[in-house]
Chains A and B, each alone.
Chain A
Amino acid sequence: MSQFLSPRLNSFQGRLASLNWLLVALIVSISLIGVMMLYSVADGSFEPWSIRHLTRLIVGLAFMITVAIIDIKFWFRIAYFVYVIGLLALLSVEFFGDQMMGAKRWLDLGLVTIQPSEPMRIGLILALARYYHNLPVENISRPQWLVLPLLMIVVPAFLIFKQPDLGTSILFSLIGVSILFLAGLSWRYFFAGGLALIPAGWITWTMLLDYQKKRVFTFLDPDSDPLGSGYHILQSKIAIGSGGLTGKGFMQGTQSHLNFLPEKHTDFIFTMYAEEMGLYGALILLVMYLMILLMGYFIATQSRSAFARILAMSISVSFFIYLFVNIAMVVGLLPVVGVPLPLMSYGGTSMLTVMFGMGLLLNVQVNRYTELSTK
């Protein structure tokens, strides 16, 4: 029966045809909205961001489809290898990385520069999915089997934290914890972890310097310091709020075009979108993102192998974490942490990482009936 239902995976065309083209269409649509907004950011010019975002989209799509149609067994086999490569890249950032704005995040590969902390999360997802695929269920919650996964999370998280990039490091850890949760780690660990966070948080608070505390206060009440550190978030809220129901119109956003908004082409692109397209536009975009997540969920739950399931759901969750943290940040629900909005924000590494993840998600769907051995 499974043979009957499964697509003809032995041919190239067969694999291509079995791709979830609706998911591809959503990815392309959101990216094109990104292209459009980057055109607006540059005051109606394809240079310098829009055209390059489009190029990256095309290259990214090719990469995604390639990742999607490769046999899942290949990805299963090289899962640890990808992780190790990522870890080495992070280490080399530590030693050879380019310093930009006080942080070592970039690795110059000659043709392109990348931020290894971004694709590293795919490495983590692949590695942990394979680890838990192999691990017998009864061993999952045994402490001795938890040591390695925790190290796999903590070591890169620490390297990212040292760059320093606190935001990405936290998101990375969060993705790791989500994978442990999906793998079936006992609730007790999560409760214990949650309880441990309370004193840890309190101790951290007492160790924070005044200016760091002030940042937290500013986040809690950005209006209290409208020209200081609360400036960006306040201007972002003004931009979004002034967009109203229908928005100010494409290229008409005053907050963005008169430069009251920072980082419009990267972290604050959603703000500009919401200002120009209004609540309607924002909700349409949110629904599109939600559909991607919904597909991720179904792809994951339909898959036979633990590797595929954990892989698909983790990619979906990490996609969600990025998009939620970004939007929550620009609407003032979370403090400002430099996190790009998947598919919309300008940035090659981010695009590459998202496309890699989406390629794997598509791959899992194509291979949903493929059985993987436990090895």
Chain B
Amino acid sequence: MYSYETDTQTFSRRAVILGLGQLGLFGLLAARLQNLQITRGDQYGILAENNRVNIGLIAPLRGRILDRYGQEIATNRPNFQVIMIPEQTKDPIETLQVLEKLVPISPSRRRRLLRDIPRSRGFVPFTVAENLEWEQFAAINLNLPHLPGVEPQVGKLRYYPQDDIFSHMVGYVGRPDGRDLRRDDPLLKVPGFRIGKSGVEKQFDDTLRGSAGSRRVEVNNVGRVIRELARNPGAQGADLMMSMDSTLQNEAIRLLGEQSGSVVMMDVNSGEVLTIASAPTFNPNQFTVGLSQKEWDGLLDDQRKPLINKAIAGQYAPGSTVKMLIAIAGLEEKVITPKEKIVCEGLYELGGDTFHCWEHEGHGAMNMHDAITNSCDVYFYELARRLGIDPIEKVTKKFGLGSTSIPGAFGEKKGLIPGRDWKRANLDASWQTGETLIAGIGQGYMLVTPIQLAVMTARIANGGKEVVPKLLINPKDVQSDNRNISQASQGNLTMDDDGGEKTNSLVVDPEHIKLMHKAMTSVVNDPDGTAFGSRFNLRGVKSAGKTGTVQVRRISKDERESGIIPNEELDWHLRDHALFVGFAPVKNPKYAISVVVEHGGSGSKVAAPIAQKLLKMALERDRQPSKTKTARANAFNKTAKMKVDKA
């Protein structure tokens, strides 16, 4: 019956089987551990590190934008904020109610907070209010002992201390939108980060932005920060020094006033732009804190288009301001001599068509000088006919019309210099002689921008050198050891480093240019000149210029016979554009200017006075050089010192 031996043998055999099985499974565990910890150990080590370490970005301080004397155009001001960390409060909702009595909380933010706080992990901070006044911020600080979990915080906000006077050229910053976010920079996702949206702020965003700092923090499984492991403060953005003069810019904006127009003034040798103003303007500070829909609609609906930078994006027929170039073309092509007289009887006939001079009575016999001084249209109809369109196209382009003046500038338009090829390509028609005639007085297809007019005038004023406008000042010109000012100014905005010294000549006979100087001087200073009314005489220093009054409507034959309706009686948008280009001093010209007042009426009455006042002011400012130089040096020293402090 009971067999002890069989029983034991069976048991032993089976125990051995189980024992070996266990041993094998132990081997499996050991092999698995070897695989996890040795073979794939490094890989899992990285994964563990990725789990543990979060990298947070620290937004760099945006570089300032300064004017040529170091005055701040764009800077950063403290943004007083109130932060709440729900888990550190006694009751987040109650705390919110207390805070509401101390600082304004907008209804939409309040709704958002009430919705999000209960859902959040307690350690995630919420911004309760920002852009506070100092008094409100102080009130919070005073009450802190009774407000656990509430933290006052000072952020940075872009600030334009001069409000609206540089808005178009300097631009503004804003939240990165969808298109910006598609770029790879993780900095763009940092809450509250702003990027350049227009103007210089956009064009030189990379320079101004600086490089992001980072902090490596240890986090747990729900993302709570346990401790900070390392911090790299990053580099703040470089400052940009612009060529503009705040005083002149401010005066330009003031003189334009409620009118729609623009002013560009530049140094004829270095190309430095001292004033580049567009009116009406807007306050960029509103854009940083956020514009209401009403304010935004107001800007969009204004027929004077406040958001457009008219100095570089406004395109107008140049009118009579182009006559110097037609004259130069005539002399260069030798189709006319300065002395040859052409008789003006108020109109010019070609084929079946009649072309009118602005002076219905006629100017009589005019040589070149008189034709420019009086802005006689008939003279230039004849001259243009003799020239044909090709030389006109060549010379106007040579002087900077029809192409962008500041490569890369935000929103700059090219204007249009028409020619045979252009017409064939765009209108599929051959060029007509009548079109050449109206091109001779700067009407028709021809379109230019105010900056192009300033460049044209500067190139006439400097004797035919190919000067290029420059918006940034090379810090090397001022103080060589300052590296905080962007090096960008050496490249993007200018064709060469050293301003006017190496500029190419336009290969125009200097004698011909001299004739233009004389004629333009007479425009302003001779009693029969069109801008005589706004002349100035600053201890013998005078200015030269040329007016332009540009028709924006076709004047019918009937109207011409019954008497042309005066501008004042027309709707605003049908009135003539008022233009003026000029330079000063007459001897050794230094500054060139262009003024365009949209639908302003006559160039001599509206545009010329603005230009003359600004030229005079620029010359006056040059007589106090010691003051400005010190100001500039101080500005740089301050920046240099900031840099040292940071390092």
Contact = CB atoms under 8 A, between A and B. Distances in A.
A350 B1 CA distance: 40
Given A258-B219, A331-B32, A331-B36, A242 B7 contact: no
B18 A258 contact: no
Contacts of A237: 36, 44
A297 B51 contact: no
Interface string A248-275: 0000001100111000000000000010
A87 to B, nearest CB: 26
A332 B28 CA distance: 12
B18 A182 contact: yes
A241 B43 contact: yes
Interface residues of B, number: 42
B36 A240 contact: yes
A181 B3 CA distance: 18
A327 B18 contact: no
A328 interface: yes
**Interface of chain B, main secondary structure:** helix
A136 B10 CA distance: 13
Contacts, number: 134
B19 A331 contact: no
Contacts of B36: 237, 240-241, 331
A255 B46 CA distance: 12
B33 A313 contact: no
A283 interface: yes
Interface stretch (B156-164, B220-228, B309-317, B555-563): B220-228
A21 to B, nearest CB: 23
Interface string B31-62: 01110111011011101110110000000000
A278 B30 contact: no
B12 interface: yes
B22 interface: yes
Contacts of A254: 48-49, 51-52, 218
A184 B3 CA distance: 13
Contacts of A310: 11
Contacts of A138: 1
B222 A259 contact: yes
A300 B14 CA distance: 12
B18 A178 contact: yes
Interface in A184-206: 184
Contacts of B8: 309
A235 B36 CA distance: 12
B429 interface: no
A282 interface: yes
A331 B22 contact: no
Contact of B37 (A235, A245, A255, A328): A245
Contacts of B41: 241-245
A136 B32 contact: no
A58 interface: no
Interface in A295-334: 297, 300-301, 306, 309-310, 313, 317, 320, 324, 327-328, 331-333
Number of chain A interface residues as a range: 35 or more
Contacts of B44: 237-242
A194 B44 CA distance: 37
Contacts of B3: 137
B221 A245 contact: no
Given A237-B44, A259-B221, A306-B11, A244 B51 contact: no
B144 interface: no
Nearest to A317: B18
B80 to A, nearest CB: 35
Most A-side CB within 10 Å, residue of B10, B26, B32, B36:
B36
B226 to A, nearest CB: 7
Interface string A170-181: 000000001001
A9 interface: no
Contacts of A136: 1-2
A286 B7 contact: no
B33 A274 contact: yes
Given A241-B44, A241-B45, A242-B44, A283 B30 contact: yes
B47 A238 contact: yes
A50 to B, nearest CB: 21
A22 interface: no
Contacts of B40: 241
Contacts of B52: 254-255, 258
Contact of B38 (A137, A245, A313, A328): A245
B23 to A, nearest CB: 8
A149 to B, nearest CB: 16
A290 interface: yes
A29 interface: no
B14 to A, nearest CB: 5
A137 B29 contact: no
A235 B221 CA distance: 10
Nearest to A254: B52
Closest 3 CB pairs of A and B: A241-B44, A242-B48, A258-B220
Interface of B: 1-3, 6-8, 10-12, 14-15, 18-19, 22-23, 25-26, 28-30, 32-34, 36-38, 40-41, 43-45, 47-49, 51-52, 218-222, 226
Interface of A: 136-138, 178, 181-182, 184, 235, 237-245, 254-255, 258-260, 274, 278-279, 282-283, 286, 290, 293, 297, 300-301, 306, 309-310, 313, 317, 320, 324, 327-328, 331-333, 374
6 contacts: A182-B15, A184-B14, A240-B36, A241-B48, A274-B33, A293-B19
